[in-house]
A and B are shown apart, each in its own frame.
Chain A
Amino acid sequence: MKRIYILATLCLIIAVSVAAAAGINAPIGVDTAKEKAQDFLNAPDATVQYQKTERLNQGEYYVFGIGDGQVYVNAHTGAVERATFDSARKDSHEIRLDQAAAEAAARAYAEEKYSGFAEKSMRLIESNLVSHGDAGSEYLYIWREEKNGVLTPNTVVVNVNPGTGEIVSYIGIRREIKCPLEPALSRDEALKVAAGQFPGIRVTDATANLTVEYTRPDAQTLTWVITMKGEPEGDVLQGGLIVIDARAGEVLMVSPYL
């Protein structure tokens, strides 16, 4: 009899756990996501119009139009993982902000919008003033979390209008790391595999980074992401971008330069 009680209790625990897990994975719904978007904008009365649901490898999103841009809300966590503000691109021709001021603005925004930004080991991997010709310019800041020498998918991108200091766009992805971070393939081995993808290439420059990527829906893979440049042939740049599974050694992507 006692055994039956224990078995019944165990079954109950399993049933509750499964139900809870199902609850975690269930989409939050458009209405809740809309409120999350309004919270993100610090404007509870903002007009937020549902546009579509988009499924990408790293997650599912409710996409909302906000009049002068878009907000992407993670359909399962409710986190706003992307926002664009088209009107903030105005007056971006004259560079009034210096690098330091622009970076401060970008960092302040990242700290406000990305939960745990200060606690995570976020490394600034790119900071540039990018010209878009007659369409103006923007300061571009990219942070990525680094764990044991591996760049994780946890990233923050903030683009700043150099004329006004307004935020033009934001991307912030935050995920638990679920794949092993120890490669089976060394950097040199990966570079050798990469060079083999471009027969006859005379390599002039190469970069290799260990990164965690969502190479399939909801599946993290430890990869070597390699750029390889070779001497031009027929007036065309040789080489390109190569992605290799750092544990299985499989080549996942070969993308030659245009």
Chain B
Amino acid sequence: MLAALFLLAALPAAVSAAPPAHNYDCSDTTPTAYDAQVDQAAMGYSSSSSMNAHASTACSTFRSDAIFFFNGHGLYYDESHKGGGIKFSSESWILADTGGHYPGNDQYYITDYGTDIRDVLLAVYLACYSSHDNQYNGDLLQQTMNKGADICIGFDGEVEVENGKCWSGNFWDRVRNGETVASAASNAKDDCYWHWPIGYWGVDTYEISGNYNSYLTPARYGIY
């Protein structure tokens, strides 16, 4: 009897212990965040998705995340000044670093995290030039890794909505079906190639930092 009561008491704790995953569609990219949420839930993550979130929300929830997925605009000021930032609603941005350029109305910086995001297993920034090192706003992948994330993915080229959706849908489906992060990223790009119009259209520029041969199952936090 006592054991049964103990089990009942422990159940909510066990359920809530599923590592959280947050997914954001911040352009005309729906339903990629929701699709990612479904795949992550099937892998055992406590996942959620939202459209047009403010950067402050994403910045705050990032602290508790095992998985963070963003699909939206990346920072592009000019050819010599691109990358290092992702754009949320109301002209709010998450930027890698403070470095003399302040896009939009509100800026939040990865460098401002202490050890807050060291539990992150995987961060995916699906945006134009999201893995490009910007002399003013820094390098999103490098800063995220510096703060303790295990794996981070970005793109070093121009990516557009439709092929971004294609890559995302296939990437999450493939990791759910047991592929490593590196295999899923690569195979997802080939999944997009033969969809019309034929071509990679930038999804071949993906870059991975960290433990690229990891699986996302079993559901877990990153190692710190």
- Chain A residues proximal to chain B, CB less than 8 Å: 56-58, 70, 82, 84, 86, 89, 130-135, 140, 142, 144, 151, 153, 155, 157, 168-169, 171, 173, 211, 213-215, 223, 225, 229, 232, 234-237, 240-241, 243, 253, 255-258
Contact = CB atoms under 8 A, between A and B. Distances in A.
A173 B76 contact: no
A205 to B, nearest CB: 10
Nearest to B206: A132
A253 B162 contact: yes
B95 to A, nearest CB: 10
Contacts, number: 136
A134 B183 contact: no
A134 B198 contact: no
A56 B194 contact: yes
A86 B77 CA distance: 37
Contact of B163 (A130, A234, A255): A255
Contacts of B186: 84, 89, 132, 135, 168-169
B198 A211 contact: yes
6 closest cross-chain pairs (CB), A and B: A133-B207, A255-B162, A235-B103, A237-B76, A213-B196, A135-B212
A258 to B, nearest CB: 5
A171 B158 contact: no
B194 A58 contact: yes
Main secondary structure of the interface of B (DSSP, over half): mixed
A236 B207 contact: no
A26 to B, nearest CB: 23
B204 A140 contact: yes
B173 to A, nearest CB: 11
Nearest to B162: A255
Contacts of A257: 73, 128, 158-161
10 contacts: A82-B190, A84-B183, A89-B182, A135-B207, A142-B199, A173-B194, A235-B103, A240-B161, A253-B197, A257-B161
B206 to A, nearest CB: 6
Contacts of A215: 196
A135 B160 contact: no
Given A236-B73, A236-B87, A84 B141 contact: no
